[in-house]
Amino acid sequence: MRLRPITTLLLLTLAHISLPAQEVFEPAPAKHITSFGFRMLTGGIITLRAKLSQFPDSLTFILDTGSGGISLDSTTAAGIKLKTVPSDRTIRGIAGSMLVRFAYNQTLRLPGLTVDSLNFHINDYDILTSAYGEKIDGIIGYSFLSRYIVKVDYDSSKIHVFTKGSIKYPRGGFMLKPQLQFIPVLTVQVKDARDLTARYYFDTGAGMCFLMSSDFVNDSAVISKRRKWYATQAEGLGGKAPMKQGVVKQLRLGPYKFRNVPTYIFDDEYNVTQYPSVGGLIGNDLLRRFNLIINYDRPEIHMMPNSHFKDVFDYAYTGLGMYVVEGEILVIDVMPGSPAEQAGFKPDDLIVAVQNNFSKNIQTYKNLMQTPGEKLKILVLREGGPIVLTLKVKNILTGK
């Protein structure tokens, strides 16, 4: 119906009409419960400390939006003699799938907050412990995040927990409206051989910037055939999975554009990404550049660029797979044709020092290997005795 101009008489008449109030029921304001610190490890993943049920020792958990529940390491569960029961539930990871046991009705005790009635599934995180050089006792995901509003502040290295309710988000930033079925899924624009908008998991537990399945890459033809890719691997459920490492020209998340983004491509044998529904994931080496407010109840994720927003991406490539084994840093894998192979590394080499750093801290050694073009003197021990190898870190962006 076409509206006509309102006459002065009609305006006077309307002035005496009582209109009903617009009744909108707002939830109670969210209340701050607690705040506590976290640590950031290689690749941007974050860990926090918490206690389980009646057990007195603090445990280390990864905060992971890519987890559809909450879990505990099998070695940790056995060490504290936690009662577990078998189930018919199967979980999948990048390198395998398995039936899992559960520890039901447990309590998670964080600083200033006790979370009860949690059902932990039991998993094997030995590979993560070896890769990061510190015990990973479990992963905190949807079972916790769905009960609260959680703010992750990378500027202060603190997590703030609020009750559900109405919350005033900071001015600026951007509001994501993810699809949520245990794990948030969002729409991201990737530009390389062509522009393509697709869906990806929002995964704070992934120690990388960006990952795509090879099926998605092949079917979408989004990646330029001129791109150079390098053999590598990643750690996850089931062990290690071979991957290719390179860059994509541009990635756009909301209004924020990132150029030359480090990217992994892998054969998704166990369909972790549920292709063709989802093409891959956005990991925490990119997400850590924003302070996050995670509000699954809406569902909303507010992103505010932080002091890490303009951090240089990690373009370093060595092809050296090293892990902590019985307190020593051991070379397990050497990628064919990689700088590590060219330097003369061999599986079972024991890394004693990097650039005269004898700390035996794998996080420190990995950080020392993150400067492309750097020539590093690395002292290794093998059956024939000690030897110094020179490793030149390659730049995956320039190929040099």
Report the pLDDT value the prediction gives residue 11, as an integer from 0 to 100: 33
Report the pLDDT value the prediction gives residue 224, as an integer from 0 to 100: 95
Task: Please indicate whether the domains covering 174-288 and 316-395 agree at the CATH topology level.
Answer: no
pLDDT, averaged in runs of 10, over the chain (400 residues): 36 40 74 98 95 96 96 96 93 77 97 98 93 95 98 98 96 95 96 97 96 95 95 75 94 97 92 89 97 97 97 96 94 95 97 96 95 96 94 96
Q: 174-288 has which fold? A: Cathepsin D, subunit A; domain 1 (2.40.70)
The beta strands (E) that lie in 154-238 are given as 158-162, 174-176, 179-181, 183-191, 195-202, 210-213, 230-236
The beta strands (E) that lie in 297-366 are given as 300-305, 316-317, 320-325, 328-334, 350-354
189 token code pair: 């624009």
- Give the distance from CA 117 to its chain's centroid: 25
pTM above 0.75, yes or no: yes
The correct answer on CATH 1.10.620.20 for the domain covering 32-162 is: no
The Cβ-side half-sphere exposure at 161, using a 13 Å CA radius, reads 18
Distance CA 38, CA 50 (A): 11
Report the pLDDT value the prediction gives residue 25, as an integer from 0 to 100: 66
Q: Count other C-beta atoms under 10 Å from residue 157's C-beta.
A: 12
- The single-letter code of the amino acid at 363 is Q
- The domain segmentation of the chain, as residue ranges, is 32-162, 174-288, 316-395
Closest CA to 400 of 320, 343, 315: 315
Architecture of domain 316-395: Roll (2.30)
The DSSP annotation for 221-277 comes to --S-TT---EEEEEEETTEEEEEEEEEEEEEEETTEEEEEEEEEEE--TT-TTTTTT
- Give the distance from CA 353 to its chain's centroid: 29
Q: What are phi and psi of 343, to 5 degrees?
A: -80, -15
Q: Is 157 left (phi over 0), alpha (psi -120 to 50) or beta?
A: left
Distance CA 81, CA 218 (A): 47
4 token code pair: 């006509």
Closest CA to 155 of 170, 139, 137, 133: 170
